[in-house]
Amino acid sequence: MAASSIPAGGSIDGSMLDDIIGRLLYGGRANEGKQVQLSETEIRHICVEARRIFLSQPNLLQLRAPINVCGDIHGQYVDLIRLFERGGFPPTSSYLFLGDYVDRGKQSLETICLLLAYKIKYPDKFFLLRGNHEDAKVNRVYGFYDECKRRFNVRLWKTFSDCFNCLPVAAVVDEKIFCMHGGLSPELDSLSRIEEIKRPTEIPDSGLLCDLLWSDPDPKIQGWGLSDRGVACTFGVDKLVEFLDKNNLELICRGHQVVEDGYEFFGQRRLVTIFSAPNYCGEFDNAGAFLNIDESLLCSFELLKALDSKARKTVGTRVSDNASTSSQSLSNLSKAISKKLPRFGSG
């Protein structure tokens, strides 16, 4: 399909945005690796408009269930389409993505363009947080820069960087479920600290913003530790429980780490890591998953199995056979602390 024309000084109207989304979805249902034909002007306008919307909304988003919470995508565009097939395409379902949209996968451009386009189309139903790969220092090295340069030019990569610098960094669902890409920080004593982070901003090498995007839970320690990543920190169960109880929260949802089943609990089931890229980089035999939170705050996981090359060619036509395995209810994990929110008990 040919790219639609947007005047150099113009903006994306509704019909143009629908055309862009349509082309992206068509390409995602085609064979893996098929590049979607978007013009540089179209992509620039997507970035500029998304940037404006990000800055118009808080750095700490206050969201309401029902909502699907999704982990890392990393340029695995076909798997992103499968995720929407399973969870419902916007605006049928609301979404919160936890970051790491680009790098490592084959189609970072299609991935981020579709996500930004949906953000523009449905700004109050579709939400994107910043991951550690939405950082020029990181995606300069791990693939996104090279993809932009090969398919367009370095100027477009810089336009994406300007957009990434405006992404929000955390969200709270119904005042109980705290979401970010990485984890906790010694500098995060209350949620109000997040609201004090100014945007646009690059990600510093240390401090609160760095930790929110880079830190990891560690079952082997108490307190705070040094990360093997060489940046940010690790935190033990004690710091997790202390923070949640102090801030009247029940659960942390975060991404940032590959986990075999697509999700993995930590700390008396009060933290869950969600990873939404199955067969990550073609090297891990992991499932992908996303978390569905319903109106009563009942949580369940939807799983995405890795597809072989033959199955990938049928995305959009045989997705019910290939895209998902099961939904596992969490309601039986422990006794509910209220009629609305199941407590994630010990285990």
Catalytic residues: 133
Q: Is there a contact between 82 and 192 (Cβ–Cβ < 8 Å)?
A: no
Q: DSSP secondary structure string, 73-103?
A: -TT-HHHHHHHHHHH--TTSS-EEE-S--SS
Neighbouring CB atoms inside 10 A of 325's CB total: 15
Report how far residue 35's alpha carbon sits from residue 123's, in angstroms, rounded to the nearest whole number: 26
Neighbouring CB atoms inside 10 A of 232's CB total: 23
CA 224 to chain centre: 25
Neighbouring CB atoms inside 10 A of 282's CB total: 10
C-alpha to C-alpha distances, 90 to 9, 118, 202, nearest whole angstrom: 29, 7, 30
Residue 113 falls in which region: left (phi positive, over 0), alpha (psi -120 to 50) or beta:
alpha
Report how far residue 70's alpha carbon sits from residue 180's, in angstroms, rounded to the nearest whole number: 11
SS3 for 214?
helix
Question: What angle, rounded to 10 degrees, do the helices at 40-56 and 108-121 form?
Answer: 50
